[in-house]
Amino acid sequence: MNTVLVGTQWGDEGKGKIIDILAKNFDYIVRYQGGNNAGHTVIVENQEFVFHLIPSGILYPGKMCCIGNGVVIDPEVFFEELTALKNKGIEFKNRLKVSLMAHVIFPYHRILDVLRETKRTNKIGTTGRGIGPCYSDKINRCGIRVVDLLNKDILKEKLLDNLKEKNEIFKKVYNHKGFSFDDIYSTYLSYGEKFREYACDVVSLLYDANKNRMPILFEGAQGTFLDIDFGTYPFVTSSNATSGGAPIGSGLALTKIDKIIGVAKAYTTRVGEGPFPTEFDKDFAQKIRGIGKEFGATTGRPRRCGWFDAVLVKTAVDINGINDLVITKLDVLDSLEKIKVCVGYEYKGKVFKTFPQDFEVLSNCQPVYKDFCGWQADTHKITKFSKLPKNAKNYLKIIEGLAGVRISLVSVGSKRKEMVKR
Ligand code: GDP
Ligand code: IMO
Ligand code: MG
């Protein structure tokens, strides 16, 4: 069954861990959007791996891992990640493929990402990795793709064209000295040489895999509310993090996708700016951040924390077409006496049961909560749903009812074994 796994909140739901668990049932694991703004953590036998670009399935020997056309690739980060894998003894020869059509991040994208933020009234709090500017170039039809790095004449022409315009903007708008063609050209030509062993037609690869009944798992990055269309715009990332991004960002046809799995944290977190109706006050946020180790896997920034928002997750279920929900980090709530779940938003006397599109409402609404008694027991060694404390089961069943979809797995710790199957 070709399956897409997506985040249902604002990212960092624990997608990496779940991909790692599911990967054994698939032959291909594919990243289809985002770039090294993602940080997916997998812990195997006390060894921690944080993936930014490489699919989290790479830890399973023999699995094919692909980076689709929808991903933006920073070559420096890509090759650094490969070196780190090699140093940890992970073999990836002949099982890592990169789409020739994927767009490439250049130094000017990274710098522009940071400079643009300084000019905005409402800062987004981006990861500063050049993601937005690279996708802007793609849409503006001046982007440079992996295939272009393999042809020295084409790379020269495209890079000269880009720098002609960009260096003027850097100087006139940002008072920045701009970029030298020679430096970038020689560096990226050498990246091109290093890409030869990985770059290929991923569309045909996936088409053949599907024809040969080899199941494909799509690894979403970010989360539904960071999606460029469906997220809390403009506080979003620049790609389609929802399930619709999978066919677009990989080339496997929509009709070949069988299942959509959503991952939701048992509470909510967000890194960067933007509305967050169920956000905790400072002290409680600090407590949960401590227990859940809520610090960004990419930038190390403290994550904002809040109660589980069922309005948000139900909307994600609908937008993505989720037919299977995974709840992560239930263990983080183990010690709490009372737990709240947001079931609606109140704004100027009106209660919203669906996600409001009006930014004014979302930014100023009061969450409507249902209160629950906590379970105040350790869950991290439990592996069977029936063995969970009564109040934990109740909490999960309430979430299931509000989200309108079945929970198939509950994660109760960061390690592979710390998992409750239903
Ligand atoms: P992703 O971006 O969705 O892959 O998530 P991240 O890796 O950025 O953040 C999730 C963090 O929570 C990682 O540090 C994981 O090791 C950790 N984690 C995942 N599942 C669980 C869980 O069930 N319990 C606890 N305590 N930690 C978890
Ligand atoms: P994973 O895959 C959490 C957030 C940034 C910022 C906004 C835009 O690990 O869940 P960008 O650099 O993409 O232009 O930043 O999106 N953001 C993430 N937050 N997890 C992520 O990825 C994120 N990727 C981007 O913090 O608010
Ligand atoms: Mg992450």
Q: What is the pLDDT of residues 85-144, one digit of tens each?
A: 999 999 999 999 999 999 999 999 999 999 999 999 999 999 999 999 999 999 999 999
pLDDT at 422: 87
Q: Ligand 3 centre from 204 Cα, in Å?
A: 29
Nearest Cα residue to atom 16 of ligand 1: 414
Are the C-beta atoms of residues 154 and 188 closer than 8 Å to each other?
Answer: no
209 Cα–ligand 2 center, Å: 31
Say which residue the tokens 């309430």 belong to: 398
Query: Across the 422 residues of the chain, what is the mean pLDDT of every consecutive 10-residue run?
Result: 98 97 97 98 93 95 97 98 95 96 98 96 96 98 98 98 98 97 98 98 98 98 98 97 98 98 98 96 97 92 97 98 98 98 97 91 95 97 97 97 97 96 90
Ligand 1 lined by 14 (C-beta under 6 Å)? yes
Residue type, 381: K
Instruction: Judge if the beta carbon of residue 219 lies within 6 A of ligand 1.
Output: no
Greatest Cα pair distance, the chain, in angstroms, is: 66
Could you tell me which of 16, 10, 223, 187 has the C-alpha nearest to residue 104? 187
- Residue given tokens 């985040």 in the structure block: 7
The β-bridge relationship of strands 216-219 and 3-7 is: parallel
Task: Choose, from 20, 40, 148, 227, the residue flagged as catalytic.
Answer: 40
Q: CB of 39 closer than 6 A to ligand 1?
A: yes
Amino acid identity of residue 49, one-letter, is F
pLDDT at 297: 85
Q: What is the pTM of this model?
A: 0.97
Ligand 1 lined by 34 (C-beta under 6 Å): no
Q: What is the DSSP letter of 71?
A: B
- Distance between CA atoms of residues 412 and 151, nearest Å: 49
- Ligand 2 nearest-atom number relative to CA 271: 26
296 CA closest ligand 1 atom index: 8
| The predicted structure's pLDDT at residue 245 | 98
CB 37 within 8 A of CB 72: no
Closest Cα to atom 20 of ligand 2: 11
Nearest listed ligand to the Cα of residue 135: 2
d(CA 72, CA 35): 5
Residue-level pLDDT at 276: 97
Ligand nearest to the CA of 295: 1
Give the closest ligand to the alpha carbon of residue 56. 1
Please work out whether the CB of residue 126 comes within 6 Å of at least one atom of ligand 2.
yes
Asked if 283 is an active-site residue, the reply is no
Give ∠ CA 254-149-95 in degrees, rounded to 5.
Answer: 55
* 17 Cβ inside 6 Å of ligand 1: yes
Contacts of 254 (CB under 8 A, 6+ apart): 247
Kindly report, residue by residue over 308-333, the tens digit of the pLDDT: 999 999 999 999 999 999 999 999 99
12 classed as catalytic = yes
pLDDT on residue 222: 98
How many whole angstroms separate alpha carbon 182 and alpha carbon 229?
37
pLDDT at 237: 98
